[in-house]
C-alpha cells in the first residue's frame, strides 16, 4: 500500500500528528502498533493533561484523540512495524502481518517502554499498586508507603517526587551505591522520608486486591543473605526506559540508549521526510502533553516537506 504520510505509533504524539496532518488534507495512515493508545493506557487517571479540570480517564483521553484523528480522515490500522528500508524514497515498511507499505514521509511516534524486573507479580498488580510513572500515579499514594526500584537519576527523581506526597519512600537499589548524579544523590540523602535499601532485590509482591508489600532479599547469595517483607502500598519501577526505535535502524541516528536523535528541537531526523515525535526521541520529559506537542510539530514539518516535493 502506498501512502503520502505514514504515522507509526498511536500514543499522544502519533494521534496529534494525525489530527494535524488530517486537517492539512494529507490523509495519513496510522500503524497503531502493539499498544494502541500508547503508554498512557497502562495508567488510570490523567490529571495533568490541560483541558480537563477534573482529570480524565487515560483510556478515554486516548480514545478521544483517536476519534479526533479519524474525524479528519486518518486511516488507523492495527499493525506493528517490524522492519524498514529507508535507503530511498518512497520509504518502505513491513508489518507483523507481512504487509508492505511505502510512503513519501514517515512520522516515527513509537514511544518508549518502561523496563520491568520481569516478575509475574508486576503483571498481576499492574494498575493496582505497580506503576512505572510517579508523575502519573504518585498522587494516589498520598500519606502512604511506596517503594521505587532503581538507583539512577530517574529513580532519584521519582523518589523525590513521591517523597512530597507519600509518608515514606523506600528506594530498592541492587548495588551498594547509587548510580545517579551527585546532585540527585545529595537531594535524596537530604530528604528525611526517603530510605535507601542498598544491595536489595525484589523477589515478589503480595496483597489482597492490590499491593500490600514486597518480598525483598538483602545481599542475595551471600553468607549474610537476609529475606524479609516490606509493607508498602505502591511499587514504582524506575530502572530505565527503552525507546522503541530498533526497527528504524540503521536509517535514523540514535543515542547510546536508542533514543532517536533529531535536529535541534525540531522533529527532523536528518533523513528527508522522516520525522520523530514523542518519547521515542525524548529522553528527558516523557510527558503526554510534550509528546502531543512534538506530534504537531512533526505533522507541520511533514506537510512542508510533502509540498516541496
| CA pair distance 172, 236, nearest whole angstrom | 10
Query: Which of the following is catalytic: 136, 156, 233, 279?
Result: 136
* 136 given a catalytic annotation: yes
DSSP for 40-105? GGGSSEE-SSTT-TT-EEHHHHHHHHHHHHHHTT-EEE---EEEEE-SSSSEEEEETTS-EEEEEE
Helices (H), 85-218: 120-124, 134-137, 153-163, 182-190
CB 38 → ligand NDP: shortest distance, Å? 19
- Residue 175 is a binding residue for ligand NDP (CB under 6 A): yes
CA distance 259 to 216: 32
Shortest distance (Å) from residue 183 CB to ligand NDP: 8
Q: Is 156 a catalytic residue?
A: no
Q: How far is the CB of 118 from ligand NDP (least distance, A)?
A: 7
Q: Is 137 a catalytic residue?
A: yes
Establish if 200 lies at the interface with ligand NDP (CB under 6 A). Answer: no
**Does 204 sit near ligand NDP (CB under 6 A)?**
no
Q: Cβ(137)–Cβ(55) under 8 Å? A: no
Q: Which of 211, 239, 254, 281 binds ligand NDP (CB under 6 A)?
A: 239
Q: How many residues bind ligand NDP (CB under 6 A)?
A: 15
Beta strand 226-231 pairing with 112-114: unpaired
Report CA 18 to chain centroid distance, whole Å.
19
- State which of residues 10, 16, 131, 154 lies at the interface with ligand NDP (CB under 6 A): 154
Peptide bond into 124 cis (omega under 30): no
Does 179 help bind ligand NDP (rule: CB under 6 A)? yes
Residue from 6, 8, 5 nearest 109 by CA: 8
Which window, 43-51, 127-135, 171-179, 270-278, contacts ligand NDP (CB under 6 A)? 171-179
Which segment (12-20, 145-153, 263-271, 293-301) binds ligand NDP by CB under 6 A?
145-153
Answer yes or no whether residue 73 interacts with ligand NDP by CB under 6 A: no
Instruction: Pick the piece of the chain touching ligand NDP (CB under 6 A) from 52-60, 172-180, 191-199, 268-276.
Output: 172-180
Contacts of 106 (CB under 8 A, 6+ apart): 5, 6, 7, 8, 86, 91, 93, 273, 274, 275
Task: Give the position of cell 548524579.
Answer: 181
Interface with ligand NDP, residue 219, by CB under 6 A = no
Q: Determine, following the binding rule CB under 6 A, whether residue 31 of this chain makes contact with ligand NDP.
A: no
Residue ranges in contact with ligand NDP by CB under 6 A: 117, 149-155, 157, 174-175, 179, 239-240, 283
Q: Which residues are catalytic?
A: 133, 136-137
Amino acid at each position: 500500500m502506498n501512502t503520502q504520510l505514514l504515522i507509526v505509533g498511536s500514543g499522544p504524539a502519533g494521534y496529534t500528528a494525525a489530527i494535524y496532518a488530517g486537517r492539512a488534507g494529507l490523509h495519513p495512515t496510522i500503524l497503531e502498533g502493539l499498544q494502541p493508545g500508547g503508554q498512557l493506557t497502562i495508567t488510570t487517571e490523567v490529571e495533568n493533561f490541560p483541558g480537563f479540570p477534573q482529570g480524565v480517564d487515560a483510556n478515554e483521553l486516548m480514545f478521544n484523540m483517536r476519534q479526533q484523528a479519524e474525524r479528519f480522515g486518518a486511516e488507523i490500522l492495527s499493525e506493528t512495524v517490524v522492519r524498514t528500508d529507508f535507503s530511498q524514497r518512497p520509504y518502505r515498511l513491513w508489518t507483523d502481518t507481512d504487509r508492505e507499505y511505502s510512503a513519501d514521509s514517515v512520522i516515527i511516534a513509537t514511544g518508549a517502554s518502561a523496563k520491568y524486573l520481569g516478575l509475574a507479580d508486576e503483571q498481576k498488580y499492574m494498575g493496582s499498586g505497580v506503576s512505572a510513572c510517579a508523575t502519573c500515579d504518585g498522587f494516589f499514594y498520598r500519606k502512604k508507603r511506596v517503594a521505587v526500584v532503581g538507583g539512577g537519576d530517574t529513580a532519584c527523581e521519582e523518589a523525590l517526587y513521591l517523597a512530597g506526597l507519600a509518608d515514606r519512600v523506600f528506594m530498592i537499589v541492587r548495588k551498594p551505591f547509587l548510580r545517579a548524579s551527585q546532585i540527585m544523590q545529595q537531594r535524596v540523602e537530604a530528604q528525611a522520608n526517603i530510605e535507601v535499601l542498598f544491595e536489595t532485590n525484589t523477589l515478589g509482591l503480595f496483597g489482597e486486591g492490590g499491593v500490600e508489600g514486597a518480598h525483598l532479599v538483602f545481599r542475595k547469595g551471600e553468607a549474610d543473605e537476609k529475606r524479609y517483607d516490606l509493607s508498602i502500598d505502591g511499587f514504582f519501577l524506575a530502572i530505565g526506559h527503552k525507546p522503541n526505535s530498533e526497527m528504524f535502524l540503521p536509517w535514523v541516528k540514535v543515542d547510546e540508549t536508542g533514543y532517536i536523535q533529531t535536529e535541534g528541537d525540531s522533529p527532523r531526523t536528518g533523513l528527508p521526510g522522516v520525522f520523530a515525535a514523542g518519547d521515542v526521541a525524548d529522553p528527558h520529559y516523557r510527558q503526554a502533553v510534550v509528546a502531543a506537542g512534538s506530534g504537531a510539530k512533526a505533522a507541520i514539518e511533514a506537510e512542508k516537506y510533502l509540498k516541496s516535493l
